[in-house]
Copies of this chain bind each other. A is one copy, B any other.
């Protein structure tokens, strides 16, 4: 016993943060391990090499390599090197808003944009100019209601996509400020 101070309190806090962050990753469609690796790099604050990650998280080399690569692709982690050391080191982006901006950018690119493209294709299937000729009136009404539903969704998704782009763009600092303000207690 060494009095009030536990020498590994910091390590414990890190571990718990890693666990919680990993859990969250799972709920939002990225793998738990990938989120854990990110959490480790973020909470550590300094560059770690593959072996550091393997040892701390108790995962295989393959898994560590794959997760680090994925984090690089997302743009939330970058490579570094140490003088006189052949290994690669990895460091997480330390600014939370910048990190979040990267995540938004990638998710729009990977999920929203393809979804919008598909939705436009689907919408064209029932484009009245090309398809409605010769329909019975009730069928025509059904197609029109369908089109209204798709259009509503398309408009919504387009708004989301535009907001996202604006947030992500260099000028998007403004949106960050707006968000902070809108979320403040003052803005009633």
Contact = CB atoms under 8 A, between A and B. Distances in A.
Contacts of A178: 182
Contacts of A14: 146
Nearest to A112: B24
Contact of A5 (B3, B16, B131): B131
Main SS class of interface, A? helix
Interface stretch (A55-63, A64-72, A82-90, A94-102): A94-102
Contacts of A80: none
B146 A43 contact: yes
A167 to B, nearest CB: 9
A29 interface: yes
Interface in A141-159: 142-143, 145-146, 149-150, 152-153, 155-156, 158-159
B166 A182 contact: yes
Given A96-B156, A115-B20, A156-B97, A145 B13 contact: no
A49 interface: no
Contact of A134 (B5, B9, B12, B13): B5
Nearest to A126: B13
Interface in A165-188: 166, 175, 178-180, 182-184
Interface of A: 3-6, 9-10, 12-14, 16-17, 20, 24, 26-29, 42-43, 45, 94-97, 100, 110-111, 115, 118-119, 121-123, 125-126, 130-131, 133-135, 139, 142-143, 145-146, 149-150, 152-153, 155-156, 158-160, 162-163, 166, 175, 178-180, 182-184
